[in-house]
Structure 1
Amino acid sequence: MEHGLLYIMLAFYLGATVLLGYLGYRHTRSSKDYLIAGGNIHPFLMALAYGSTFISTSAIVGFGGAAGVYGMSLLWLTVFNIFVGIFIAFVFYGVKTRKLAHQLGVHTFPEFLGARFSSPFIRNFSAGVIALSMPLYAAAVMIGGARYMEEAMQLNYTTSMIIFAVIVLAYVFFGGLRGVIYNDALQSSIMFIGMGVLLYLTYDKLGGVVTAHEKLSALKDLVPQALAAKGHLGWTAMPRFGSEIWWFVVSTLVLGVGIGVLAQPQLAVRYMTVSGKKEIYRALSVGGVFILFMTGTAFTVGALSNVYFMEQSGKLALAATAVGGAAPNVDKIIPLFITQAMPEWIMYLFLLSLMAAAMSTLSGQFHLIATSLTYDLNPKAKKGDQKTLLWARVGTVIGFTLTLLLALQLPPSIIAIATALFFGMCASAFLPMYTAALYWPKVTPAGATWSMISATVTYLVLVLFVHEKEAAIFGVCQQLFGAKTLAAAPWTYIDPMVISLPVSAVVLVAVSLMTQKAAQADTTLLPKSAPRQRQL
C-alpha cells in the first residue's frame, strides 16, 4: 500500500473526529449532557447515531464473514433488523421509552427500569449485567476493526487493536454522548459511502448482479462435506430445515440479534436524546435505509466472496483464510477479500469505513459501561453533578481496559458468536420486563425482578453447560465435568435465547399475577406526594 495517501486520509479523518469530539466537550456542561446529550438532539442525528451504533465491525466483518460460510440465508437478519430493529423498535418502544424516561427524569437504561419499578435492586442488577457482559460485545467490535487493519496495513494485531481503542477512548472520555452522536453522524456517512462503493465494485468484479449470483448458485456442489452433513445446501439457499446449521443461522444469528436489538441498552438510550415522539417518527426512514444498506451489503459481499476466491485460487472463502498453515478464520474473510479483490484506494476507504463502524459502536459501548459502573451502581451519583461527570469519565477508562484485555484473550472466529451472545443475554434478561414496563400496568416489581434473575441464570447455565459453541469457548463444562457439553442434539445447537426468553416471559407474568395484591397494598402506603408515574 502507498502509505502516503493513507496517512493524508487518516489525518483528515482523525482531525474531523477530534474536532467533533471537542465540540461535544464544549457543549457538555452537566451530567445530563454527558448521559443523554441534553435530550434535544436532531432526529436525523439520532437515526444515524442509532444505526451506526447498531451496525459495527461485528456486523460487517463478523457477520459478513459468517455469510461467507453460510451464504445469503443471513439476509433474513437484514429483514429482522429493519422490521424489528427499526420499525418496531422506534414506533412501539422508542416513543413510549422517551416519554416515560422524561417523566421519570432518568438518563440511563438501568435507571429507567429501576425508576419504573421503584426498585434499586433492578437498577443495580441490570447495571451489573451490562457492565459485566458489554465488554464481550465491545471486544468483538474491536477485534473486527483490528483484523482488517492487521490485514490491510500489515500491522501487528495488538497494535491495530490499541490504535482503534485509544482513538475511541479519547473522544468518548471528553465529549460524552454529545461527542459520540456528533461523531456518529460523520462515521455513518463514511460507512454508507464505503459500503456502497464496495457493493458496486464487487458486482462489477464478478460480472454483474445476475452473473455473480448464478456463479454463487453453481458452487453448491462444492460445499465441504462437513458442512453438508450439518445441513448446508449452498450459498443461495436456506440450510436444511431443522439441521444444525439451520438452527445456528435462524436461532442464533437471525433471531438472537434480530430480536435482541429491542433490548439493547445502548440503543434504548438513543430514544432519550430527542425532545419528542415526532422526532422519533422522523428518524424512521433514515434508520431503515441505513440498516438496509449496511447489513444487506455486508451479507451479500460475504457470500459472493466465495466466487472470487474460487476463481482466483480454487478455494472457498473460509479455506482461503488458512494461509501459511494457520487455521481457517471466519473473521478474516471480509478483510482478505477487500485487500485482494479491491483497488488500493478502496482499501483506504474501507479502512476508514471500518474505523467509523468500530468507533461509532465502541463509543456507545464504552459510554454505557461507564455510566453503568459509575452512575447506576453509585447511589450518590446525583448528589454532585460535576462529580458524576468526573466519575463517568473514569468509568470510560475502566470499560476501555476491560474490553482491551478481553479482546486479547478471545479465540479466532469469535465476532458473530460474541455479538449474538450479548444480544441474546439482553433479550432474555430485559425484553419481557422492558415491554411490560411500557405496556402492562399490572406488572409488579417482584415479577420484573424474578423475570430478570431467572432469565439471566437460565441463559448463563445454557451457555456454559449446554450450547456447544459457547461451552467449548469458555471451557467451564470441560473443567468441571470433562465434557464440552452436558446435553445432546438438538439442544447443543439451539440458541439459549430460544429457551431463556420464554422462561423470562412466563416468570414475569406468573409472579406478577401472584403478587398483584401485595403490590397494590404497597402502593396504597406510598406518600401522597410520591410520583404518580412510578405507580404505573
Structure 2
Amino acid sequence: MGDALIWLGYIAAFIWLARKGQGHDAMATGRVGFVIQALAYVATYISAVALVGFGGLSYLYGMQMLLVAAGNVWLGTWFVYRYLAWPTRVCQRNLQARTPTQLLAKGHKSPLLGKALALIFAIFLGVYASAVIKGAALMLAQILPIPVWALVWIAAVVVGVVVFIGGLRGVLYTEAMQGVVMLIGIVLLIWAVLDKVGGPLEGIAQLAQLAPTPRANEGFLALSMGEQGWFIISLVMVTSVAVWSQPQMMQRHFALNSTRQINRITPLAMLVLTVLVGGTYFVAALSRLILPEIASADDVVPHLVKMLLPDVGLQVFVLAIVSASLSTATALYHIAVSAIAEDLPGKPATRFSWFLGIVFCVLVSGGSAQIKGQLIALLCTTSWSIVGATVLISYVALVRFGKRSSLAAWLSCGLGFTSCLLWYLLANKAISPTPVFGMQAALVPPFFVGLACSLVGWFVGWAFDHEGRKASTFWPAPNA
C-alpha cells in the first residue's frame, strides 16, 4: 500500500504540473520562478545515463570521475549562466525566435540552415530519446511485473501526453518536480553508503589502500595515466562543453526574465548538480569497498541500491532514476516536436501539427527502443557529441560575439556534423567494428575532431563573407 501511494502521488503531481501549461502557447514559458528554472535546467542536464552509467564508471575508475562532476558544475552550469544564458535570451527576444532552431536560422539569416538543423534535431534527438525512455523502462521493470517492451511504449506515451498537454511551460514544471525527486533519491543513497563505509574520510582512507587496477592505474584517488586518464578528460569536455549548444539546454534560457534572476538560478543549480553528480560519483567510487567484483558498470548502482536501501527507499530511488529519464525525454521530445511541427514547415505550429509531431516522436522513440541494430546504437550513443560539434561554434559566435554570417554558419555546421560522424565511423573502436584509422587516432574523441573542423569552417566562411562582416556588430552586450 505504501509503495502504491508513493507512485500514485508521483503520477498525480506529474499530471497536475503538466497542466500548468494549458492555455499557453506550446513554445512559450510565461513567467517562471528561479527555483523552477534551476531545477528544470539540472533535470534536463542529468539523465539516468549520468546517474547509473557514470556512477558505474566511478566504481571502475575511482575518484577521478569527480573531475566529470566538477566539469558539469563549473563548465556546464556556472560558465553557461555567466557567459551564455542571458545573451541567448536577449538574442531570442530581439530575433523573436520561438525555438533554438529559429534562433540560429534568424541569427545567421539563413532559413535553409534552420530547416537542415531542424531535420538533424528531429532525427538525432528523437532517436536519442529512445535510449532515455528505455532506461526508465528497465528501472520500472525492477518493481513492476510488466515486460520491458510494454513499459517502453507506456513511458513514450506518457512523455508524449505531457508535452502535448503542457507545452514548454508544462515541461519546465514537471522537470522541476522530477529534479526534487532525483535529489531525494540520491541523498538517500549517499547517506546509506557513507553510513556503511564509516563516513567520507574513513572511506577515502580505505580506498587509498586498494591496489591500482588497469583502469585506475595510479590508484583510486588519482588521475590515471595514458588512455584511461585521457578518457576521463575527454568525458569532462564532452559532457560539460558540448552541453552549451544542445537545443534543449538553449531553450531553458528562453524563460529568463532578468540578469538578477540568473544570480539566483546559478548557485541553486550548481548546488543541486553537485549533490546529484558529485554525490553519486563519490559514493559509487566508495562502493568498491562493500560490493563484490562487478563486471558491468551499469549493474553497480542498482546492486548498491538493492543491497543498502529498504523497500521504501528502493521505490524512491527508482522514482529518482525514472524522473531523470523522463525529465530528459520531455525536453528532447519538445525540441523534436518543435522541429517537426514548426521549424520544418516554416510557420507556427497548430494544435493538429503539434499532435502529429508528438505521434511521430512516440513512434520513433518507442520503436527505436525495440530495435537492436548498429545504426540505432550509433545515433543514441553519439547524438550529444554530434549535435554539439554541429552547433556550438555558430551558436557561441552569434550570442556571445554578435557575429552573423550565413556562409560561416553553413560551413561550420556542415563540417562539424560530417567530421564528427565520420570520426565515429572510421576511428572510434566502440562504434566501428573495423576502424580505418590507427590506435592513436582512435584515442581522439569525435567531439574534439568535430569541434576543430567546425571552428575551421567558421573562420573560412567568415573570411569570405564580406557582407556578413559588415552587418555584424557586437550584440547583445552580456549585461544588456
Size of the aligned set, in residue pairs, is: 473
Q: 2:162–2:171: 8 Å Cα contact kept in structure 1? A: yes
Which of 7, 11, 28 is the equivalent residue of 1:14? 11
| Map of 1:478 onto structure 2 | none
Is 1:34 the counterpart of 2:19? The answer is no
| Map of 1:466 onto structure 2 | 427
| Map of 1:195 onto structure 2 | 186
Amino acid at match of 2:418: V
Which of 437, 451, 460 is the equivalent residue of 1:501? 451
Which of 387, 403, 408 is the equivalent residue of 1:426? 387
Post-superposition CA distance 1:250-295 (Å, at most 9, x none): 21x2111111111110011111122233222321111111111111
Q: 2:48–2:324: 8 Å Cα contact kept in structure 1? A: yes
| Map of 1:295 onto structure 2 | 277
TM-score where L is the length of structure 2: 0.92
| Map of 1:451 onto structure 2 | 412
SS in 1 for 2:27: helix
Rounded Cα–Cα distance in structure 1 between residues aligned with 2:176 and 2:206: 37
Q: CA deviation at 1:155?
A: 4.7
Q: 2:127–2:364: 8 Å Cα contact kept in structure 1? A: no
Which of 224, 227, 244 is the equivalent residue of 1:244? 227
Rounded Cα–Cα distance in structure 1 between residues aligned with 2:419 and 2:242: 16
Amino acid at match of 2:18: G
Q: 1:80–1:254: 8 Å Cα contact kept in structure 2? A: yes
Post-superposition CA distance 1:148-181 (Å, at most 9, x none): 2233446533233334333222211211111111
Gaps of 5+ in 2: none
Rounded Cα–Cα distance in structure 1 between residues aligned with 2:373 and 2:53: 13
Rounded Cα–Cα distance in structure 1 between residues aligned with 2:135 and 2:59: 15
Q: 1:231 to 1:190 in 2, by over 3 A?
A: closer
Q: 1:147–1:335: 8 Å Cα contact kept in structure 2? A: no
Q: 1:239–1:246: 8 Å Cα contact kept in structure 2? A: yes
Q: 1:61–1:144: 8 Å Cα contact kept in structure 2? A: no
Rounded Cα–Cα distance in structure 2 between residues aligned with 1:367 and 1:501: 26
| Map of 2:112 onto structure 1 | 121
Rounded Cα–Cα distance in structure 2 between residues aligned with 1:56 and 1:508: 31
The 5 A counterparts of 1:342-381 are 342-379=309-346, 381=347
Amino acid at match of 2:405: T
Q: CA deviation at 1:424?
A: 1.5
Amino acid at match of 1:390: F
SS in 2 for 1:486: coil
Q: CA deviation at 1:215?
A: 2.9
Amino acid at match of 1:306: R
Is 1:150 the counterpart of 2:148? The answer is no
Which of 45, 49, 70 is the equivalent residue of 1:54? 45
Q: CA deviation at 1:300?
A: 1.7
SS in 2 for 1:471: coil
Is 1:141 the counterpart of 2:132? The answer is yes
Please tell me whether Structure 1 or Structure 2 has the larger radius of gyration of its CA atoms. Answer: 1
| Map of 1:271 onto structure 2 | 253
Identical positions, percent: 24
Amino acid at match of 1:507: G
Which of 24, 29, 38 is the equivalent residue of 2:21? 24
Which of 176, 195, 198 is the equivalent residue of 1:204? 195
Is 1:439 the counterpart of 2:388? The answer is no
Q: CA deviation at 1:104?
A: 0.9
Which of 215, 221, 236 is the equivalent residue of 1:254? 236
Rounded Cα–Cα distance in structure 2 between residues aligned with 1:390 and 1:402: 18
Rounded Cα–Cα distance in structure 2 between residues aligned with 1:204 and 1:499: 44
Q: 1:245 to 1:449 in 2, by over 3 A?
A: same
Rounded Cα–Cα distance in structure 2 between residues aligned with 1:171 and 1:280: 27
Rounded Cα–Cα distance in structure 2 between residues aligned with 1:210 and 1:503: 45
Amino acid at match of 1:275: N
Amino acid at match of 1:515: D
Q: CA deviation at 1:210?
A: 2.1
Rounded Cα–Cα distance in structure 1 between residues aligned with 2:412 and 2:284: 38
| Map of 1:97 onto structure 2 | 88
| Map of 1:220 onto structure 2 | 211
Amino acid at match of 2:157: V
| Map of 1:162 onto structure 2 | 153
SS in 1 for 2:221: coil
Rounded Cα–Cα distance in structure 1 between residues aligned with 2:286 and 2:139: 18
Which range moves more in the overlay, 484-493 or 301-310? 301-310
Amino acid at match of 2:289: V
Q: 1:445 to 1:71 in 2, by over 3 A?
A: same
Post-superposition CA distance 1:60-92 (Å, at most 9, x none): 112112222222212111111111111111121
Which of 34, 50, 66 is the equivalent residue of 1:43? 34
Q: 1:217 to 1:142 in 2, by over 3 A?
A: farther
Amino acid at match of 1:211: E
Q: 1:54–1:267: 8 Å Cα contact kept in structure 2? A: yes
| Map of 2:354 onto structure 1 | 392
Q: 2:37–2:265: 8 Å Cα contact kept in structure 1? A: yes
Q: CA deviation at 1:305?
A: 2.5
Which of 101, 104, 113 is the equivalent residue of 1:110? 101
SS in 2 for 1:8: helix
| Map of 1:324 onto structure 2 | none
Post-superposition CA distance 1:328-387 (Å, at most 9, x none): x332321222122322121011011112211211111111110011111112x23xxxx5
Q: 2:404–2:468: 8 Å Cα contact kept in structure 1? A: no
SS in 2 for 1:309: coil
Q: 1:21–1:180: 8 Å Cα contact kept in structure 2? A: yes
Q: CA deviation at 1:136?
A: 4.1
Q: CA deviation at 1:34?
A: 1.0
Amino acid at match of 2:260: K
Q: 1:123–1:376: 8 Å Cα contact kept in structure 2? A: yes
Q: 1:410 to 1:135 in 2, by over 3 A?
A: farther
TM-score where L is the length of structure 1: 0.83
Rounded Cα–Cα distance in structure 2 between residues aligned with 1:200 and 1:111: 45
